[in-house]
Amino acid sequence: MDVQFAPWRMAYIKGEKAKGCVFCKEEAREDDLLLWEGTTCLVMLNRYPYNNGHLLVMPARHVANLEDLTGEERTELFDLLDRSVRVLREVLGPEGINVGINLGRAAGAGVEDHLHIHVVPRWSGDTNSMTVVGGIRVIPDSLTGTRDELKPCFEKAASGGVR
């Protein structure tokens, strides 16, 4: 049997769990992962990424379904999706990007009652033997390192500086 040590997980396992939605500002949102907050929507890093730079784009309001978005939310959501893709391309240079929405638990939604769009940068070979054989995903940068690299580019993109 292979053993993988992850001592940093113990703080989470033993720690007090936040009550409420991890995406809602009034409840348990983790602002250390926040990259951009607009008028009705926001962009944050995924705490449990599939790949380095895995972003979540979502309405700030606690809403579960696309059909429940206001017109303003829908417009800003897709504007921030576009901005997120442009920032990832400029900063991380991925060879491709997966964009996905999981609506409901059966569709794979981990947080099913707060709509969010996954934006996952991809590179050829990012699913390598560590993932396939070892069942281990290797993320090459820390969340804070990725945040510090991406956050200034969201500011720059807001002023038209990222294409």
Are 62 and 113 a contacting pair, CB within 8 Å?
A: yes
Phi, then psi, of 85 in degrees rounded to 5:
-65, -45
Closest CA to 98 of 54, 35, 66: 54
Query: What's the DSSP call for residue 48?
Result: S
Query: Using CA atoms, how far apart are residues 130 and 137, in angstroms rounded to an integer?
Result: 7
Which of these is catalytic: 54, 62, 114, 116? 116
List Cβ<8 Å contacts ≥24 apart for 2-6.
Answer: 2/134, 4/134, 4/136
Active-site residue flag, 116: yes
> Annotated active-site positions, please?
116
